[in-house]
């Protein structure tokens, strides 16, 4: 047991250091923690897109703040990171990686192939879609297995009612059932066959069926003699690859796996509920100040919604708040300074550039690159 705990601790430190390197000098030491937890706050969502942290988002929803603090304390004690002041205008602190920390990170990247596992396609809309895809796959495999054996009485491995309803809809008619029984194994075999055996086992060993109870990630980690957190990351990698392959479908034919995807959510569906309402009012020509009054919100909250809309609504024209020339200037400044830190950009650009303009320009640029 101590051996597995040691592996877990070692990998979590490598994963944390890799992610912290993305945010060094830009955010506080706890910004990555909120990403790993999957916090739905505007700032966290924007950080995911601005700093390419899609593979980190909601990776460990049960991560305790105390555990994260322990990791940070270790990094500081070992002088892998050093705290610095975020700017002269705020008491908040950021950090930088030391020479020693950079060397540790280089070794960790090589040992764990972090660039591979964390370099996933950012076009995936969000974790919820991926999670839904996995639950549907898990339950349709179990159900099809029982149908093939003529055993219709079993306890579903997935208790989510929406997923259960989807499976029932897929298997309503004899033709549909036959299609799944004949085609699912063939498609899975062909798709998973593109991965090395280690990754095939990671997915297949979790499936339940007639005479087989799926293994948990913890059980798989013990079998593979790896850290549970590393196994979880590999699962995220494989599922992302499977999802994107299924989403694109199979040219010239019908893909059963593609039907597990609800498709990329419409851009408006990626917005939070509150931002959707702001978007609805914006399209009616109502100003942010008026929206704030109508909805009983702070203007700053509505501005957060504008940034969210800029990320997800590619067709939205923000020229009322930000000219094309200003947007180009902000993006150019961000690239020249090598930072997305708002205060640094505002100091560089001068009083004519508000925080809202800077946030919108960065969000619009990022939205164009992945939306």
pLDDT tens per residue across all 371 residues of the chain: 677 789 999 999 999 999 999 999 889 999 999 999 998 887 888 888 888 888 899 999 999 999 999 999 999 999 999 998 876 666 788 999 999 999 999 999 999 999 999 987 554 446 778 888 999 999 999 999 999 998 888 899 999 999 999 999 999 999 999 999 999 999 999 999 999 999 999 999 999 999 889 999 999 999 999 999 999 999 999 998 888 888 776 444 458 888 888 644 544 456 778 888 999 999 998 999 999 999 999 998 999 899 888 888 878 888 999 999 999 999 999 999 888 778 789 889 999 999 899 989 988 887 655 44
What does the pLDDT read at residue 267?
46
- Residue 42 is predicted with a pLDDT of 77
Whole-prediction pTM: 0.82
The whole-number pLDDT of residue 201 equals 95
User: What's the rounded Cα separation, in Å, for the pair 205 and 195?
Assistant: 15
């Amino acid at each position: 047991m101590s051996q597995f705990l040691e592996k877990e601790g070692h990998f979590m430190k490598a994963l944390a250091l890799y992610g912290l390197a993305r945010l060094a000098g830009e955010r506080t030491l706890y910004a990555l923690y909120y990403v790993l937890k999957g916090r739905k706050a505007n700032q966290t969502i924007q950080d995911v897109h601005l700093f390419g942290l899609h593979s980190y988002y909601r990776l460990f929803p049960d991560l305790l703040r105390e555990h994260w603090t322990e990791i940070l304390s270790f990094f500081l004690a070992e002088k892998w990171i050093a705290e610095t002041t975020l700017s002269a205008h705020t008491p908040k602190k950021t950090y930088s990686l030391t020479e020693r920390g950079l060397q540790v990170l280089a070794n960790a990247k090589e040992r764990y192939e972090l660039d591979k596992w964390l370099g996933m396609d950012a076009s995936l809309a969000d974790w919820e879609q991926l999670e839904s895809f996995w639950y549907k796959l898990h339950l349709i495999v179990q159900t099809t297995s029982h149908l093939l054996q003529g055993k219709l009485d079993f306890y579903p491995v997935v208790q989510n009612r929406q997923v259960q309803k989807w499976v029932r809809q897929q298997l309503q008619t004899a033709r549909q059932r036959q299609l799944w029984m004949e085609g699912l194994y063939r498609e899975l075999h062909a798709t998973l066959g593109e991965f090395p055996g280690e990754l095939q086992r990671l997915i297949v060993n979790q499936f339940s069926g007639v005479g087989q109870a799926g293994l948990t990630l913890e059980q798989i980690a013990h079998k593979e003699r790896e850290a549970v957190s590393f196994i979880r990351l590999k699962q995220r990698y494989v599922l992302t690859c499977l999802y994107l392959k299924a989403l694109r479908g199979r040219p010239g034919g019908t893909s059963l796996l593609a039907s597990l995807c609800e498709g990329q959510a419409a851009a408006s569906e990626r917005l939070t509920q509150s931002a959707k309402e702001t978007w609805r009012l914006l399209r009616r020509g109502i100003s942010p100040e008026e929206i704030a009054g109508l909805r009983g919100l702070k203007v700053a909250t509505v501005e957060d919604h504008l940034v969210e809309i800029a990320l997800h609504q590619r067709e939205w024209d923000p020229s009322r708040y930000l000219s094309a020339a200003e947007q180009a200037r902000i993006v150019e400044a961000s690239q020249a300074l090598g930072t997305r830190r708002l205060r640094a950009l505002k100091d560089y650009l001068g009083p004519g550039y508000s925080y809202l303009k800077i946030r919108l320009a960065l969000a619009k640029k990022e939205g164009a690159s992945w939306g």
